[in-house]
Amino acid sequence: MKLLRSETDPVRDQFARARAELAAALIERDEEVDLILTALIAHEHVLLVGPPGCGKSLLLDSVLAWTGGTRFTLLLTKFTAVEELVGPVSLAALKADKYLRVTTGKLPEADYAFLDELFKGSSAILNVMLRILNERTFDAGDGVARPVPLRLCLAASNEWPSPDTGKELAAIADRFVLRKTVSPIRSQVGRRKLLWTRDHAPKLSAPIAPAEVDQARRRAQALPWSADAREALEAVLKELAKEGVQPGDRRQFQTVGVVRAFAYLTGADEVRPEHLEVAQHCLWDDPGEQPRKAAQVIARIANPVGMRVTQLLVEAEQVLTATNVRDLADAARAAAKLAEIDRQFAGLAAGPRVETARAYLKDQLKKLKLASIEAV
């Protein structure tokens, strides 16, 4: 991942450095890193769903440690009490015939929050969170909705809600503008790194202050949308509607800010069509088939080069996985296939993503040849 440099925006440099350091340490989690940092800049929330042991908690904990603000963490179960989330009722207030909660150290006073197993919480817990996450206010019991300092809530779950509970949990899921399914490590290279690297914990250079996060948000909000990007978003929404994917008005509006934040994170001075890539994690409601449809429509309209890069990388991984390096003829056929994939990369419009993919492919081709020689 290329480290961005800016003489006029040192805060963006901090985000770029953290982005590179997180991606270098966490295996095949570049996209998840981008989602969380984008959410942090956009002042939105992010939900990661996937089986245990995929690094969700490690990534979330690393980002929370980097932000340096006050944190609140809670593992939700069906037995979790509301008091664990927002604080107990004040006994002193009760003696004065008042009902007030003591929120010290709880979610209403946190800058950042990590809620694990989000969908396991009771209805009472989830209902309390709705207003805190969306309006960012909390009524401690005196009838006054006071602002909460919450900048970002990161949530994780091992699975999406079942069809039986999906409608009941739709409201809380909707509060997370960015949502993604996290998959186990897929590539051969990633598997080797997982097995033979002793420590996978990211080492971030320096924490970022809440005031600096706010500054990044203001600068991201100031980025203009290019005419091509505006047209692309409108075309995406139109095509999604044809596919039966119609996210609500609030989600569409929030997506505009998310795309701005992603453009800022990547170092752009305006929002361009390719930055709509991040919107595939926003513009859907049902986690079944809709995320796939959103990704396909956005890639086709806004970033066809990126879609082709992904397809070619998948083909390359399939070749590498199926190759027996001890069989010289098999290795030679694999090398020829990888060389053909590289020629297809060369035919795409030049850009950082294409360059990174080609560098990766050439490195794998070199390792394939060395492994074949050593096996003789």
* Residue-by-residue DSSP string for 149-162: ---EEEEEESSPPP
Write out pLDDT tens, residues 176-193. Answer: 999 999 999 888 888 888
Average pLDDT over residues 243-263: 97
Position 349 scores a pLDDT of 84
The model carries a pTM of 0.85
Cα distances (Å, whole numbers) of residue 233 to 236, 246, 272, 277: 5, 13, 10, 10
Q: How confident is the model at residue 279 (pLDDT cuts 50, 70, 90)?
A: very high
Write out pLDDT tens, residues 43-75. Answer: 999 999 998 888 888 888 898 889 888 899 999
pLDDT higher than threshold 50 for residue 13: yes
Q: How confident is the model at residue 1 (pLDDT cuts 50, 70, 90)?
A: very low
pLDDT higher than threshold 70 for residue 235: yes
Write out pLDDT tens, residues 326-363. Answer: 888 888 899 999 999 999 999 988 887 888 889 989 98
Position 22 scores a pLDDT of 94
> What is the Cα–Cα distance from 240 to 293, expressed in whole angstroms?
8
Position 200 scores a pLDDT of 86
